[in-house]
Amino acid sequence: MKYPILLPNIFNHPFTYESDIDLRTGDYVIVPFGKKNITGVVWNEFEKNSDKKYKIKNVFKKLNINPLKKDTINFLNWFAEYNLIPKGMALKLVLLSNNAVENKDKKSYKIFFNKIKKTSIKLSKDQNICLDKMSRSNKKFRVHVLQGITGSGKTLVYFEAVKPLIVKGFQGLILLPEIGLTNQFEQKFFEYFGFKPAIWHSGISKKKKELIWSGVSNGEIKIIIGARSSLFLPFKKLAMIIVDEEHDQSFKQDEGVIYNARDMAISRASFENIPINLITAVPSIETFENIKKGKYEVSKLSERFKNAALPNYEIINLNNTKIEKQSWLSNEIIEKVNFHLKKKDQILFFLNRRGFSPNVLCNKCLTSFSCPNCAINLVYHKYKNNLLCHYCGYKSELERNCSKEGKCELVFSGPGVERISEEVKRKFPNKKIEIFSSDTMNKKDSIKKLDKIIKNEIQILVGTQLISKGFHFPSLNCIVVVDVDLTSQGHDLRGAEKNLQLYHQLSGRAGRTGKSAVVYFQTYNHNTKMISEITNKNPEIFLERELDIRRKNKLPPFQRFVSLILSGENENKLAKEALNFKNFIYNKIEGKVLGPVNAPLFRLKKKFRMRFLIRGSKSMRLQSSIAKIIPKYKFPAGIKLSVDVDPINFN
């Protein structure tokens, strides 16, 4: 009998194979392809309009794995169509290094034993109201938004919502935006439930991933806490999806297969006909619009846990206070910090820049040290003693021969967290100080560091935006935003929205246990309206105005953007090809074609880049028209096209 088998590759259709084995849609099989035997899945449709005559090969064997559910297959077909990728690449996201893992003995999953302990934690009246709303209609699809100020106990509410599903033998998925959050979150989960969840992200070992993959597939593992990729695990009895910090930009996958994990999670929940809960302090503009339209339900927590107060805000005008040469901390802020240290408060100096200095140049030849592969400056990392490109990973030694004479005479322009850390150490020599960034907190010793921070054994933190993402530090009651002017620069469509969410999340790290807390903003800007707006206790005032701006200018979420980027090593050839491509697609797409223009990051990983932006209605017609026309255009060798539906970053 003939069967359609989809393979994890760049093909947008299944291949036809024969087998005497009785196969069903969703079965995992091993088939010959070229000179190799590879894993495929019996799909729900045959290749369309194939006039080729070819010898049909036989299925080698069927694997001992629960079949991929038809609902999941339908989701993957839609996912490929929506994001303009081949169906085979959607399947690749499900498999583990292109393989599937056969069922193991039940004893193998004992480490994820899910007997729930009894808990003595009692929810507040408002939390119970939110829980009732969240748990309503738990057997069918609906989107519910749990919006609560930072520290209001949102996590406890959705733990309670997930608990009865686990008891009944169903599965739950909790999506987190950052790998760095999983360790503290895993501990919080264990304290509440009494068993360890399965953690899924790129840092998990291959052996453990194989165990988790098979445990999810056969229903033995009940809870997954994971990053974006966990959305594609082959769940057997998925009953609820939680997207924590739904507004976070990290849910957008920007390389390889490009997609927004939050949006795709909503779609998967729809195909599986299960509820999904979006958790946030400040909703994304898209979520806020869907709440306003009545498409999403919402419940709100307006009080912090145990009635802890939100932090106060103070603006330090750097035009009116003394600041020393080669220093970024004013005398006034040092006095404020000393006051908090005397009260045993933990301090955070916040600057959203990794490394020591973002710009390095020679004082003699005036050469700026930039990446040879990308149109971006190299960042000096003093602790590693090298120059680093944050885009392609290129590393370089600091010492350079000068074109004038001798060695380059280096000047470091602007601060990163390492430079601020050095200044903080000079100002507070007797205090324990730690940098909190992706360079320091994704290492093996990060669990120990977190424990020390929680116990207030580290008095001062110097951190990037990573610290704003859901961490709980009981003693943190003073936050210094070193340079708020930095985050207001640039021409990002979502810049204002990102700032609103960042500073609400950041301020939410302070004052969580009831002590009074303050967030200080250092600024040279006389107009402090921006700071007032992003720290307003009612962020919906800002979101309403932002929606009006977007509506008037026909920007998302009122229209859809699709970004097309052409890249190649030859700049002139690329520019010529971009114009040819525009002429080819113009008037053939159900949307307005803008561009081509040089991408803001014009050179990346040795490739020049040109950008198109296609604007159209919020329907699949835009994607369908693009999908029809693009395969008809033959790009010359060396020119590559990448597609980003609903772009968040415009680099």
Burial of 274 (0-12, 13-18, 19+ CB in 10 A): buried
pLDDT tens-digit series, residues 175-225:
999 887 787 888 889 989 998 899 999 889 999 999 999 999 999 999 999
Query: Which pLDDT band, with edges at 50, 70 and 90, does 451 fall under?
Result: confident
CA 117, distance to chain mean position in Å, is 32
Question: Positive or negative CA dihedral for 300, 178, 512, 352?
Answer: negative
DSSP H stretches of helix in 84-149? 87-94, 125-135
Q: Show Cβ contacts of residue 485 under 8 Å, excluding neighbours closer than 6 positions.
A: 523, 524, 525
Burial of 2 (0-12, 13-18, 19+ CB in 10 A): exposed
Using the predicted structure, report yes or no on whether residue 311 has a pLDDT greater than 60: yes
Higher pLDDT, 136 or 643: 643
Is the fold of 2-94 the same as that of 308-356+415-546?
Answer: no
At 386, the amino acid letter reads N
What are the residue ranges spanned by the domains of the chain?
Answer: 2-94, 106-305, 308-356+415-546, 560-645
pLDDT tens-digit series, residues 87-100:
999 999 999 999 99
* 308-356+415-546 CATH pick, 3.30.360.10, 3.40.50.300, 3.30.300.30, 3.40.50.10490: 3.40.50.300
Each residue of 476-510: b (16+ CB within 10 Å) or e? bbbbbbbbbebbeeeeebbebbbbbbbbbbbbbbb
What pLDDT sits at residue 488?
A: 58
Fold category of 2-94 in CATH: GIY-YIG endonuclease (3.40.1440)
Instruction: Report helix, strand or coil for 268.
Output: helix
Q: How far apart are CA 281 and CA 553, in angstroms?
A: 27
Query: Which pLDDT band, with edges at 50, 70 and 90, does 628 fall under?
Result: very high
- Could you tell me whether strands 410-413 and 395-396 are parallel, antiparallel, or unpaired per DSSP bridges? unpaired
Residue that the structure tokens 């297969």 belong to: 257
What pLDDT sits at residue 118?
A: 81
Query: Which pLDDT band, with edges at 50, 70 and 90, does 443 fall under?
Result: low
At 48, the amino acid letter reads K
115-119, 206-210, 342-346: which has the minimum mean pLDDT? 115-119
* 106-305 CATH pick, 3.50.50.60, 3.40.50.300, 1.10.10.10, 1.20.1330.10: 3.40.50.300
The verdict on whether omega for the bond into residue 596 sits within 30 degrees of 0, i.e. cis, is: yes
pLDDT tens-digit series, residues 224-271:
999 999 999 999 999 999 999 999 999 999 989 999 999 999 999 999
Q: How many CB atoms lie within 10 A of CB 370?
A: 17
Residue that the structure tokens 């040819």 belong to: 580
What pLDDT sits at residue 621?
A: 93
pLDDT tens-digit series, residues 462-471:
999 888 887 8
At 358, the amino acid letter reads P
What pLDDT sits at residue 609?
A: 97
- pLDDT over 70 for what percent of the chain? 97
pLDDT tens-digit series, residues 312-339:
999 998 888 878 888 999 999 999 999 9
Would you say domain 560-645 falls under CATH 3.30.70.600? yes
Using the predicted structure, report yes or no on whether residue 533 has a pLDDT greater than 90: no
Instruction: Report helix, strand or coil for 475.
Output: coil
Q: How far apart are CA 30 and CA 23, in angstroms?
A: 12
At 350, the amino acid letter reads F
Mean pLDDT of 350-358: 93
Residues making up the chain, counted from first to last: 651
pTM, two decimals, is 0.93
Burial of 149 (0-12, 13-18, 19+ CB in 10 A): buried
Instruction: Report helix, strand or coil for 559.
Output: coil
Using the predicted structure, report yes or no on whether residue 18 has a pLDDT greater than 70: yes
Query: Which pLDDT band, with edges at 50, 70 and 90, does 110 fall under?
Result: confident
